[in-house]
Structure 1
Amino acid sequence: MQPADIARLVSPGDPRVSPDGRRVALVVTRVDLEADRYRSAIWLAPADPADGPPRPLTSGDGDANPRWSPDGTRLALTRTVDGKHRLVVLPVDGPGEPVTLVERDTSISEPTWSPDGTALAFTSRETRPDAPPFTVVGTPDRAALPRRIDRLFPKLDGEGWIVDRPRAVFVVPADTPAAPRVLAHHRYDISGPAWSPDGRELAVTTVRDEPDADLTMVEALHLVAVDTGEIRPLTSSPSISVSRPSWSPDGASIAVLVEDVVLVPSFGRVALVPTAGGEPTVLTAGLDRQAAPFVGGRAPLWRDGSLVFAVEDHGTQPLYAVPADGSGTPTELLGGTRAIVGYDAAGDTLAVLTTGPTSRPELAVVRDGREMTLSSFSTAFHRDLPLDAPEHLRVPSSGGGEIDAWLLRPRTAALAGTDGRLPLLVSVHGGPMTQYPAAWFDEFAMWSGAGYAVLWCNPHGSTGDTEAALRSIRSPESAEVPGTGWGGVDADDVLAVLDAALAHEGTLDPARVGLIGGSYGGFMTTWLVGHTDRFAAACSERAANNLLSLEWGGSDAAGYFRFEMGVDHLARPDVYRRMSPTSYVEHIRTPLLILHADHDLRCPPEQADQLYVSLRLLGREVEYWRFPDEGHELSRSGSPRRRVQRAEIILDFFARWLRPVSTHPSPGTD
């Protein structure tokens, strides 16, 4: 695979099964490199392969969020055209034209049908009703006026300022265009609208309307009366946050995901809340795994008296089920060496999107205990650009237990030295509270295609293992659950995995090892090159380099790191300085590539600027690239052209520093 092959990627997503279980609607997204954009359409796939292959239902280039009407005759979807965001309903069978119910300047999310099919609820950003008025004659554009910041977390990467335009819940008739009614509005975002079976209420989650709620941002489950808009909280925990509600068929309880957001990091767990009120009852307490995956997570799915959910488990992402009445323990429903990154069920059909180490996501269904693949979106891609399966390694950790790691060997020895040895790229994931899944990854395919062996792992601090392992990198100064801090056992794990791979595979060249990572992976990259000269070159991307300035207010998550570290930066700034890679910049002698995006709000550009200025003043080998008009998600969802440019820059950099040992510069040379 080459960088330009990004244009060939086809990505199915968000499968939704029709009420009768006979069809699956899904979003299919393609890359249009020439137009520098993504084009997405809604497709329909018969649940029985004998009824034909999947087919496109819409020809739109900005369609998403397909949702079946209760009777299965219509689909609601969101459509973005020329910067306008629409909620559209179209007939699936028979005559009729698509009806645009709503058009807004802000994105429309989470459409959901009322049980009788007469209305749709959705969320969208709306100016706060309590936003302080401020007008200037001749200046009608509010964006040009001063913005009052009256709480923490006032901005969000990818969306900008949200403090004065939180996400509200709207309701609109499902059969005719109309001005949507604002059902619930709050100074904080409202998410996850779910209709009660009788259609009288919506379950939503939002921060409770209390003084200083922004100091913890604990989200509670609320009920909103559809006729009056009255909103009342159901849960009241000061530390347990609730998300993704899903009503039981009898309306007596609501399934949710819960997470401790004060003792962080924590696992998401499946729980039930009685609609009469009360705190959540956790159903998956005995399953010591993350039940809210970073990719593919959704509200718990009611099916045959159980709740279906995905978990992260040692690199795999299987589906589990747990009895909703609390009578049993969670059991694996669908597993394997793969990641299930989307799922839905209705009737006798369970639909899943699965990706494996050598294959991009495809749609499959499980019926009568038999799994059948329905789609072949990437068959031609894999035929032209095959990828060998990586080898799974288990590496002992100084923090206890074993670390999951994977080694991918290149198909070509184009970069082999005169002794036949190959260069190696070590990749560290972001988060840190996520995992590298058993999934096809474009980065690894490109690096392998260029002739590099690729090594990656899930060190302590990742999901996929126990919650204790997840929390092991909290600050050692924390009063609760102290750990080694960032750059402790997690850094030891990465080096241990490197040592194990070099000992296991004699064709790898220890003198030509590169290191790369983004976000927390960028932190780890900068940290390691400040503590060891083992790497011949490194790429630190969208990195967290100065944790103190991030927590002081640089990041859109400023104020959150005190929970993750267990230490307040105001009381102990020394702890944040000690864990900041910039504190060790004088020790960096590894040639370093720095990549960052101008509009990154999670790890703002000053994180890269501080690193670059320091290295430049020290006269070190450093290369810095800034991408305009992009945010923190550049590598995953940035503009196609910039994704290609980014990949080319990375490959060019490592080609210069990791070429055969007889000609490449020695690492550590100023």
Structure 2
Amino acid sequence: MSASTEKRPVTTTDFQNIKVLSEPEFISKNKYSYVITSVNEDKDYESQIYVHNLKDDSHKQWTTDNHRNHTFRVSPNKDKSFFLSSRSGASQIWLIAVDGGEAKQITTFPNGVSSPVWANDGKSIIFCSFLEKDDDIASLKELSNEEKKAKQKEAQTKPLIIDRLKYKSDARGFHDQSTVQIIQYDINADKFYQFTTQEADHHLVDLAPNGEHLVFAANFEEDADASLVSDLYLLELQSKEITKLTDSKGSYHDAKFSRDSKKIIACGHEFEYAGATLTKLFLYDVESKERKLLSGDWSIQPGDTMVADMRLGSSETGPVWSHDNASIYFLGTDAGAVNLYETDLEGNLKTRYSDDNHVFGFSYHPETDSFILGISKPKDPCNFYKLDADNTLKQLTDVNKAFIHEAALSEPEEISYTSSDGLEIQGWLLRPYGFQEGKKYPFVLEVHGGPHAMYGQTFFHELQLLAAKGYVVLYTNPRGSHGYGQEFVNGVRENYGKGDYRDLMEAVDYCLEQYSFIDENRLGMTGGSYGGFMTNWIVGHTNRFKAAVTQRSISNWLSFYGVSDIGFFFTKWEHGVNLLEDPTGLWDISPLKYAENVETPLLILHGEKDYRCPIEQGEQLFITLKHLNKEVEFVRFPDANHELSRSGNPSLRTARLENICRWFNKYL
């Protein structure tokens, strides 16, 4: 079999030309809104809001500025709408009539706002914002660019005093003393009211349809700084009385009131398997506060844990109540796919939509019992589809038609093999651009991060790029990955560098046996985060790879404990011990220990502001290997955090891909 080369190969900059869809949201049974995120002429991201009229198949663009516009919501009485926009500097709420016109900015909070929802009467909007303890919400104003620069300059001349464990995060950088509070904006009175004041983060989750309660997530424990608990609380809007729903044993999120406001469905777990615990669905009675587990024997992971590099913008993943309050819809991760599922109130699970692809978001319309599905496929970055009550599926968009028409995309070939200790391991192989029978090709193994995530049937620009550059590309889900049940995802804990290492090496062995076109003398590998750890581990334990690229990696678990934003609990979660309990054990599973064994030319890629896997992890590895006269190179990306490969600066994302291709081209 020979592949056609009538189409051009994928390039490093193609991701900048792909339109990324997100946030499908029904406005009426014949209209829905959505967001397109793209890279503009200034080499920056912009997001624009559109409305698709299903009656005449027309698409109307609602925003045009080169900023991030998203979270478009129409009021219950259908006369007004709001959206979030960064056009003023921070993400703020803007109000606009449903038939268009001039948008009006209604919030000017210095830290922006998030999670806005309409009150059931359409007269107010409830949202979250970071507030300092003594902030007067009536007088808060957004800082001008000049004021921001002055504040940044002043901060550079003052020491940062730290007195807590959770003082930084990869998403926020260094934390200040502000906390997330829940606020209401009264449209007619043009006034703000603060619902919560306790010095803790209050994350608004949902508002009851009858307008009597809201539910939020928070950690009010005495040891909150060291605790990972996230409890659910009911807030009665009239009295401001707060009632605790959960028992401080776990972490809960994505709670939704039933349409009659009598019940709440919520996602969460109680850390039974630490960070490898499958998410569960719990049903709460609002009046009695009684809890019922719906997902007792499910093997799927509720939610979307698919790994991809072209998913900019968030979308609804559930749970969402049916029109009659008898069923709940949600996305679930299973065996390389993300599907739409339905459960009744007894936990009887059934698949509502599945086609071996990636459903990344949906919107449900209760009157028609239909859905707008956002779907990504390996050879189609994203589109929207309408799923009717009778399960008829109709494609609604074709936003990347030009790219798909001109670029040659490789079709994944699924592989499955049994590991030496009896586990079924799933993976996919991409043949190189212009593939010809009888010819030998270099090979690249990709290892995902997490480790509790999943590769699968979605569009992945980096994988397609490597195939376009002439490589056979293999990506698999070794033990520790989601999508294969609780025992499988837990299989990597206290097992790093052992079972997972064997899974990956046996996957390579399987492909060498099955595919004669792979050149066994030109094997390469790469991975990021946990995949970076595995890259470092593998090159210290075998010399079969002729080139490797480690990205945002972990090289030393002893220092990771103290420098990562999650280190103080992650080493205990994943390895069963922390630094003080067993330093020798952590050193034994640290790739740095085996640096003398490395013979594979290694490229180290790392972001300067990565607080998840801090850059000192890459620095230690580079200095050690360089001091040992190994073949190694270190590329540092300024102002880049752990999300560089997915949502980082477009120019730096391009440079990252160019360096990966350069290294493999040099050595393979």
TM-score scaled by structure 2? 0.90
- The equivalent of 1:75 in structure 2 is 81
Of 476, 498, 501, 1:457 maps to 476
The answer to whether the aligner puts 1:5 opposite 2:14 as a matched pair is yes
**Structure 2: tracts of 5 or more residues without a match:** 1-9, 136-149, 307-314
- Structure 1 residues 491, 139: closer, same or farther in 2, change over 3 A? closer
Secondary structure (helix, strand or coil) at the match of 1:215 reads: coil
Deviation at 1:423? Answer: 0.6
1: CA distance, partners of 2:301 / 2:395: 27
- The equivalent of 1:118 in structure 2 is 123
Deviation at 1:602? Answer: 0.3
2: CA distance, partners of 1:169 / 1:596: 36
- The equivalent of 1:30 in structure 2 is 38
- The equivalent of 2:327 in structure 1 is 306
- The equivalent of 1:17 in structure 2 is 26
- Structure 1 residues 505, 243: closer, same or farther in 2, change over 3 A? same
Secondary structure (helix, strand or coil) at the match of 2:384 reads: strand
355-364 or 614-623, larger mean C-alpha shift? 355-364
Secondary structure (helix, strand or coil) at the match of 1:445 reads: helix
- The equivalent of 1:64 in structure 2 is 70
Q: How does 1:292-331 map to 2 (within 5 A)?
A: 292-294=303-305, 298-304=317-323, 305-323=326-344, 325-326=345-346, 328-331=347-350
- Structure 1 residues 578, 281: closer, same or farther in 2, change over 3 A? farther
Q: How does 1:247-258 map to 2 (within 5 A)?
A: 247-258=257-268
2: CA distance, partners of 1:533 / 1:297: 45
Asked whether the 8 Å contact 2:561–2:578 carries over to 1, the reply is no
Secondary structure (helix, strand or coil) at the match of 1:321 reads: strand
Deviation at 1:231? Answer: 3.2
Asked whether the 8 Å contact 2:231–2:244 carries over to 1, the reply is yes
Letter in 2 for 1:125: F
- Structure 1 residues 386, 229: closer, same or farther in 2, change over 3 A? farther
Of 169, 172, 175, 1:159 maps to 172
- Structure 1 residues 169, 143: closer, same or farther in 2, change over 3 A? farther
Provide, for residues 624-645 of structure 1, a one-character-per-residue CA deviation record: whole Å limited to 9, x for no partner. Answer: 0000011110011011111111
Asked whether the 8 Å contact 2:48–2:63 carries over to 1, the reply is yes
Asked whether the 8 Å contact 2:258–2:264 carries over to 1, the reply is yes
- The equivalent of 2:443 in structure 1 is 424
Q: How does 1:261-272 map to 2 (within 5 A)?
A: 261=271, 263-264=273-274, 265-272=276-283
2: CA distance, partners of 1:445 / 1:281: 44
Deviation at 1:64? Answer: 1.2
Letter in 1 for 2:406: D
2: CA distance, partners of 1:163 / 1:579: 35
**Structure 1: tracts of 5 or more residues without a match:** 131-137, 476-484, 659-670
Deviation at 1:148? Answer: 4.8
1: CA distance, partners of 2:305 / 2:560: 22
The answer to whether the aligner puts 1:232 opposite 2:243 as a matched pair is yes
Asked whether the 8 Å contact 2:205–2:253 carries over to 1, the reply is no
Secondary structure (helix, strand or coil) at the match of 1:456 reads: strand
Deviation at 1:487? Answer: 1.1
Deviation at 1:514? Answer: 0.7
Deviation at 1:557? Answer: 4.5
2: CA distance, partners of 1:551 / 1:86: 36
Asked whether the 8 Å contact 1:192–1:203 carries over to 2, the reply is yes
RMSD: 2.2
Letter in 2 for 1:397: S
Q: How does 1:170-319 map to 2 (within 5 A)?
A: 170-174=183-187, 178=191, 180-207=192-219, 209-227=220-238, 229-238=240-249, 240-261=250-271, 263-264=273-274, 265-276=276-287, 278=289, 280-294=291-305, 298-304=317-323, 305-319=326-340
Provide, for residues 15-44 of structure 1, a one-character-per-residue CA deviation record: whole Å limited to 9, x for no partner. Answer: 1112x3221111110112x41210111011
Deviation at 1:583? Answer: 1.6
Q: How does 1:37-116 map to 2 (within 5 A)?
A: 37-46=44-53, 48=54, 50-60=55-65, 61-81=67-87, 83-93=89-99, 96-116=101-121
Secondary structure (helix, strand or coil) at the match of 1:559 reads: helix
525-534 or 290-299, larger mean C-alpha shift? 290-299
Letter in 2 for 1:10: K
2: CA distance, partners of 1:71 / 1:504: 61
Deviation at 1:617? Answer: 0.3
- The equivalent of 1:668 in structure 2 is none
2: CA distance, partners of 1:192 / 1:362: 29
Of 582, 590, 598, 1:580 maps to 590
Deviation at 1:84? Answer: 3.0
- Structure 1 residues 294, 173: closer, same or farther in 2, change over 3 A? farther
TM-score scaled by structure 1? 0.90
Letter in 2 for 1:392: E
Asked whether the 8 Å contact 1:21–1:345 carries over to 2, the reply is no
Asked whether the 8 Å contact 1:149–1:163 carries over to 2, the reply is no
Secondary structure (helix, strand or coil) at the match of 2:225 reads: helix
2: CA distance, partners of 1:196 / 1:184: 17
2: CA distance, partners of 1:215 / 1:172: 34
The answer to whether the aligner puts 1:594 opposite 2:613 as a matched pair is no
1: CA distance, partners of 2:244 / 2:174: 26
Asked whether the 8 Å contact 2:273–2:490 carries over to 1, the reply is no
- Structure 1 residues 45, 176: closer, same or farther in 2, change over 3 A? farther
- Aligned-residue identity in percent: 29
Of 628, 637, 640, 1:630 maps to 640
Q: How does 1:249-648 map to 2 (within 5 A)?
A: 249-261=259-271, 263-264=273-274, 265-276=276-287, 278=289, 280-294=291-305, 298-304=317-323, 305-323=326-344, 325-326=345-346, 328-346=347-365, 347-348=367-368, 349-369=370-390, 370-412=392-434, 420-475=439-494, 485-648=495-658
